Amino acid sequence: MTVDVKHYVAEDLPEIRQHILDIHVEVRQRDFGLTGPFYDVERFDARLTAYSSRPGWTAVLGFDEGDPVGFCFGTALAPDTKWWNNMLTAVDPAVTKEDGKRTVSLNEIVVRKPWRGRSIAWQLHEAWLDHRAEERVTLLVNPLAGDGAVQAVYEAWGYRKVGDQQPFPDSPVFSVMLRSTKQD
* DSSP states along 37-88: GGGSHHHHHHHHHHHHTSTT-EEEEEEETTEEEEEEEEEEPPTT--TTTTBS
Residue 146 predicted with pLDDT over 90: no
Residue 15 predicted with pLDDT over 70: yes
pLDDT value at residue 184: 65
Question: Each residue of 62-118: pLDDT tens digit?
Answer: 999 999 999 999 999 999 999 999 999 999 999 999 999 999 999 999 999 999 999
Tally the residues of the chain: 184
Question: Each residue of 159-174: pLDDT tens digit?
Answer: 999 999 999 888 899 9
Give the C-alpha separation, 157 to 120, whole Å.
13
